[in-house]
Amino acid sequence: MNDTTKVVTATEFKTNLGKYIDYVIENHEVVVTKNGKKAVRLTPYITEIERYFTVKENALDYQYGGKKVSYEEFMEIYEKSDLRMEYINGEIVLLASPDTFHQSISGNLYIHLHTYLKGNKCKVFYAPFDVHFFKKEFETPDVMQPDLLIACDLKDSVNEKGRYMGTPTLCVEILSKSTRTKDMVDKLNTYMLSGVREFWVVDPQKHSVLVYGFQDFDIDEYAGYKTGDTLVSYFFEGLEIAVDKIFEA
């Protein structure tokens, strides 16, 4: 059971039927208990075609998701697959399609970052864009797709296949229910240990942004910004964004 599931008694459910139906419509779950035992689970209605793709996605997740493989095995699987996937701590992680609000946030940030970097050697890129992160004292890299990144080492870090093999200066992750823990723990650790200088964690639910500044493979500074605040970049001088502008739908 996840943190969006409400457990209520049958009496409470009957009394507040409309309230809990609205809650389910917002893509949550309600579990109804009777005599102290779980009796009914209400979930959002999905069409047959949605059910088909859910089953297909779950099957692919069973085939690849969470599978421990070597870096070479991952690259072989990745080259032959149309799936979006990452490789973190020796494990394959499948990436779900982002929702519309996630895409709006990504677009807003891209516009602000692109405008700031105009005439600069650094460039902003957005997912899907593979990056191989070589963590300090680790032989095997992680392969991830930050939602957005700023790369300042493009001149010497693009291989003969046109792939970027450098280390971004800034990485941005937009949280979702399925990636919250991974983004806030695993990815923070990878970015910190691979030489990234700055990491933004954007929370669509709370309309907030956490900014981490890294120095010598450790957290140097940390700041939180919410609605009404102006985000100030740790590394890029003069880069400031009103938080309200980030979350404009």
Q: Mark 58-91 as b/e (b = at least 16 C-beta within 10 Å).
A: eeebeebbebeeeeeebeebbeeeebebbbbeee
Distance CA 224, CA 245 (A): 16
Predicted local confidence at residue 65, as pLDDT: 47
Distance CA 63, CA 79 (A): 16
Q: What phi, psi does 166 have (nearest 5°)?
A: -95, -165
The residue range of the domain holding 81 is: 48-94
Per residue in 63-120, pLDDT (tens digit) is: 444 567 888 888 888 887 777 888 888 888 888 888 899 999 999 999 999 999 998 8
Domain boundary residue, one of 30, 61, 94: 94
Provide the whole-model pTM: 0.70
Q: How confident is the model at residue 219 (pLDDT cuts 50, 70, 90)?
A: very high
**CATH number of the domain where residue 35 is located:** 3.40.1620
Same domain, yes or no, for 125 and 222? yes
Distance CA 90, CA 69 (A): 6
Same domain, yes or no, for 63 and 87? yes
Predicted local confidence at residue 70, as pLDDT: 85
Per-residue pLDDT, averaged over 186-196, amounts to 92
Type and span of the H or E element at 218: strand 218-226
Distance CA 220, CA 240 (A): 19
Angle at 155 between CA 151 and CA 160, to 5 degrees: 105
Same domain, yes or no, for 105 and 187? yes
How many whole angstroms from its chain centre is CA 102? 9
Same domain, yes or no, for 71 and 37? no
Same domain, yes or no, for 187 and 218? yes
Residues belonging to the chain: 249
Same domain, yes or no, for 134 and 65? no
- The amino acid present at 230, given as its one-letter code, is T
Mean pLDDT of the chain: 85
Q: Which residues contact 127 (CB under 8 A, 6 or more apart)?
A: 106, 145, 146, 147, 148
Between 125 and 35, where is the model more confident? 125
Same domain, yes or no, for 181 and 130? yes
For the chain, the domain total comes to: 3
Distances (CA, A) of 221 to 188, 197, 214, 228: 13, 11, 7, 21
Same domain, yes or no, for 117 and 190? yes
Same domain, yes or no, for 36 and 140? no
Same domain, yes or no, for 115 and 222? yes
Per residue in 146-168, pLDDT (tens digit) is: 999 999 988 888 887 778 888 99
**CATH number of the domain where residue 124 is located:** 3.90.1570.10
Same domain, yes or no, for 65 and 188? no
Same domain, yes or no, for 127 and 228? yes
